[in-house]
Amino acid sequence: QKEVEQNSGPLSVPEGAIASLNCTYSDRGSQSFFWYRQYSGKSPELIMFIYSNGDKEDGRFTAQLNKASQYVSLLIRDSQPSDSATYLCAVNGRQLTFGSGTQLTVLP
């Protein structure tokens, strides 16, 4: 079993809809969780991170943690075509471990 798993997609949503991205992790001791966005041909950039003590909202983005089920989700409200990218989940264990990413396409 991979340490961090994501559905590779592609996930397509219409403009203005809510995009929901999920990530499961295997290390129950993980304390911090990160979402990065990577445009094609570019390097990853941090969107937001949360600690094990709660969810977080930042503008159109909300990160939620379900510790019991060991998954993290990223919700993107009012999705825009500019949100089309690969979204990488990363979990902080012994090292920061990245998932393989979910490709999101927002259709105009």
Partner 1 sequence: EADIYQTPRYLVIGTGKKITLECSQTMGHDKMYWYQQDPGMELHLIHYSYGVNSTEKGDLSSESTVSRIRTEHFPLTLESARPSHTSQYLCASSASGANVLTFGAGSRLTVL
Q: Which residues bind partner 1 (CB under 8 A)?
A: 32, 34, 36, 42-46, 49, 88, 90, 92, 95-96, 98-101
CB of 101 to partner 1, least distance (A): 6
Distance CA 99, CA 24 (A): 9
CB of 18 to partner 1, least distance (A): 25
Q: Which is nearer to partner 1, 32 or 64 (CB)?
A: 32
CB of 1 to partner 1, least distance (A): 15
Q: Which residue has the tokens 């990488």?
A: 88
Q: Which is nearer to partner 1, 19 or 35 (CB)?
A: 35
3-state class of 60 per DSSP? coil
Phi then psi dihedrals of residue 44, to 5 deg: -65, 145
User: CA separation (Å) from 86 to 12, 27, 36, 96?
Assistant: 12, 23, 8, 18
Q: Which is nearer to partner 1, 68 or 95 (CB)?
A: 95
